Amino acid sequence: MLRLYSSHLNFMKKEYQPEVLEPAVQKFWQAHQCFKATEDPNKEKFYCLSMFPYPSGHLHVGHVRNYVLGDVIARYQRMLGKNVLHPIGWDAFGLPAENAALKHGVAPAEWTYANIDHMRTPLKQLGLGFDWSREITTCKPDYYRWEQWLFVQLLKKGLVYKKNSAVNWDPVDHTVLANEQVIDGRGWRSGALIERREIPQWFFKITAYADELVDDLDALTEWPEEVKTMQRHWIGRSSGLTIQFKIDKNCALNDNAAESSVVQSIDVFTTRPDTLFGVTFLAISPQHTLARYAAEHNIQIQKFIASYQQVSVAEAATATLEKQGIDSGLTARHPITHEPLAIWIANFVKSDYGCGAIMGVPAHDARDFDFAKKYQLAVRTVIQALEKEPTDDTQGPLGGQLINSGVFTGLSSAQAAMAITELLIKNGLACKKIHYRLRDWGVSRQRYWGSPIPIINCDHCGAVPVPEKDLPVILPEAIHFTGTHSPLKTMPEFYQTTCPQCHQPATRETDTLDTFVESSWYYARFACPTQAKAMLDNRAHYWLPVDHYIGGIEHAILHLLYARFFHKVLRDLDLIDSKHNEPFTRLLTQGMVLKDGTKMSKSKGNTVDPKQLMNIYGSDTLRLFVLFAAPPEQSLEWSNSGVEGAHRFLKRLWTFAYMNVWLREFNQNATSNLENPFDDTHIPTKQQAFRREIYKILQLAKHDYERQQFNTVIASSMKLLNLLSTAEHSNMNSTSATPNLAIQYIIQLGFSMLLRLLAPIVPHITHVLWQELAFTGLILDAHWPTLAADALTIEEITWVVQVNGKLRAHLSLATTADEEAIKTAALNNAIIKRYTENQAIKKMIIVPKKLINIVL
Ligand code: ANZ
Ligand code: ZN
Average pLDDT over residues 463-470: 97
pLDDT one-digit tens code per residue, 323-346: 999 999 999 999 999 999 999 999
Closest ligand to the CA of 393: 1
> Given a cut of 50, is residue 161 above it in pLDDT?
yes
Q: What angle do CA 656, 29, 536 make, to 5 degrees?
A: 135
Q: Could you tell me the pLDDT band of residue 767, with boundaries at 50, 70 and 90?
A: very high
pLDDT of residue 174: 76
pLDDT of residue 5: 41
> Given a cut of 60, is residue 607 above it in pLDDT?
yes
Q: Which region holds residue 161: left if phi is over 0, alpha if psi is between -120 and 50, else beta?
A: beta
pLDDT of residue 7: 44
Nearest protein CA to atom 28 of ligand 1, as residue: 270
Instruction: Assess whether the C-beta atom of 350 lies below 6 angstroms from ligand 1.
Output: yes
Tell me how far the alpha carbon of residue 239 lies from the centroid of ligand 1, in angstroms.
11
Q: pTM for this one?
A: 0.84
Beta strands 598-599 and 593-595 are antiparallel
Phi, psi (deg, nearest 5) at residue 532: -95, -10
pLDDT of residue 786: 84
Tell me how far the alpha carbon of residue 150 lies from the centroid of ligand 2, in angstroms.
22
Instruction: Assess whether the C-beta atom of 359 lies below 6 angstroms from ligand 1.
Output: yes
pLDDT of residue 434: 95
Average pLDDT over residues 588-617: 87
In angstroms, the Cα distances linking 764 to 22, 48, 100, 629, 817 are 6, 20, 37, 20, 42
Nearest protein CA to atom 12 of ligand 1, as residue: 358
pLDDT of residue 727: 87
Nearest protein CA to atom 11 of ligand 1, as residue: 238
Task: List, in sequence order, the alpha helices (H) in 674-709.
Answer: 685-706
> Given a cut of 70, is residue 388 above it in pLDDT?
no
Give the dihedral of Cα atoms 124, 129, 135, 136; nearest 10 deg.
Answer: -100
DSSP string, 59-124: --HHHHHHHHHHHHHHHHHHHTT-EEE---EE---SHHHHHHHHHH---HHHHHHHHHHHHHHHHH
Q: Would you say how long the chain is, in residues?
A: 856
Q: Which residue has better confidence, 743 or 68?
A: 68
Average pLDDT over residues 34-55: 97
Q: Are 242 and 250 in contact (CB under 8 A)?
A: no
> Given a cut of 70, is residue 259 above it in pLDDT?
no
pLDDT of residue 598: 85
Q: Which residues pair with 637 in a beta bridge?
A: 594
Mutate to test the pocket of ligand 1, among 358, 367, 382 (most ligand atoms within 8 A of CB): 358
Average pLDDT in the chain: 90
Q: Could you tell me the pLDDT band of residue 395, with boundaries at 50, 70 and 90?
A: very low
pLDDT of residue 310: 60
In which order are the strands placed within the sheet that holds 796-803?
Answer: 806-814, 796-803, 851-855, 843-847
Q: Which amino acid is at 222?
A: E
Lowest average pLDDT, out of 572-586, 595-609, 757-771, goes to 595-609
Mutate to test the pocket of ligand 1, among 287, 324, 353 (most ligand atoms within 8 A of CB): 353
Tell me how far the alpha carbon of residue 508 lies from the centroid of ligand 2, in angstroms.
12
> Given a cut of 50, is residue 381 above it in pLDDT?
yes
Instruction: Assess whether the C-beta atom of 282 lies below 6 angstroms from ligand 1.
Output: no
Distance between alpha carbon 565 and the CA centroid of its chain, in Å?
Answer: 16
Tell me how far the alpha carbon of residue 344 lies from the centroid of ligand 1, in angstroms.
15
Nearest protein CA to atom 29 of ligand 1, as residue: 270
Q: Are 692 and 727 in contact (CB under 8 A)?
A: no
pLDDT of residue 688: 78
Which sign, positive or negative, has the C-alpha torsion 346, 348, 351, 355?
negative
Q: Are 610 and 622 in contact (CB under 8 A)?
A: yes
Lowest average pLDDT, out of 188-197, 248-257, 278-287, 480-489, goes to 248-257
pLDDT of residue 240: 95
Tell me how far the alpha carbon of residue 202 lies from the centroid of ligand 2, in angstroms.
19
Helix (H) or strand (E) holding 599: strand 598-599
Lowest average pLDDT, out of 203-207, 284-288, 399-403, 667-671, goes to 667-671
Average pLDDT over residues 788-793: 68
Closest ligand to the CA of 281: 1
Tell me how far the alpha carbon of residue 324 lies from the centroid of ligand 1, in angstroms.
17
Instruction: Assess whether the C-beta atom of 272 lies below 6 angstroms from ligand 1.
Output: yes
pLDDT of residue 733: 53
Lowest average pLDDT, out of 280-284, 578-582, 705-709, 727-731, goes to 727-731
Average pLDDT over residues 658-686: 71
Instruction: Assess whether the C-beta atom of 71 lies below 6 angstroms from ligand 1.
Output: no
Q: What percent of the chain has pLDDT over 90?
A: 70
Nearest protein CA to atom 31 of ligand 1, as residue: 364
Position in ligand 1 atom list of the atom nearest CA 278:
3
Helix (H) or strand (E) holding 548: strand 546-552
pLDDT of residue 393: 47
Give the span between the Cα atoms of 60 and 638, in whole angstroms. 12
Closest ligand to the CA of 413: 1
Q: Could you tell me the pLDDT band of residue 394, with boundaries at 50, 70 and 90?
A: very low
Tell me how far the alpha carbon of residue 271 lies from the centroid of ligand 1, in angstroms.
6
Give the dihedral of Cα atoms 86, 89, 91, 93; nearest 10 deg.
Answer: -160
> Given a cut of 60, is residue 260 above it in pLDDT?
no
Which residues are in the CB-under-5-Å shell of ion ligand 2?
458, 460-461, 499, 501-502
> Given a cut of 90, is residue 311 above it in pLDDT?
no
Nearest protein CA to atom 33 of ligand 1, as residue: 270
DSSP string, 385-403: ESSSPP-SGGG-TT-EEE-
Q: Could you tell me the pLDDT band of residue 679, with boundaries at 50, 70 and 90?
A: low
> Given a cut of 80, is residue 73 above it in pLDDT?
yes
Cβ neighbors of 577 (< 8 A, separation 6 or more) are 540, 541, 544, 571
pLDDT one-digit tens code per residue, 496-520: 999 999 999 999 999 999 999 999 9
Give the span between the Cα atoms of 669 and 686, in whole angstroms. 25
Q: For residue 532, with 0-12 CB atoms within 10 Å meaning exposed, 13-18 middle and 19 or more buried, which class applies?
A: exposed
Closest ligand to the CA of 369: 1
Q: Could you tell me the pLDDT band of residue 318, with boundaries at 50, 70 and 90?
A: low
Nearest protein CA to atom 32 of ligand 1, as residue: 270
In angstroms, the Cα distances linking 388 to 23, 401, 404, 697, 729 are 68, 12, 18, 52, 69
Average pLDDT over residues 840-855: 90
Instruction: For residue 341, give the nearest of 305, 380, 367, 303 by alpha carbon.
Output: 380
Tell me how far the alpha carbon of residue 490 lies from the centroid of ligand 2, in angstroms.
22
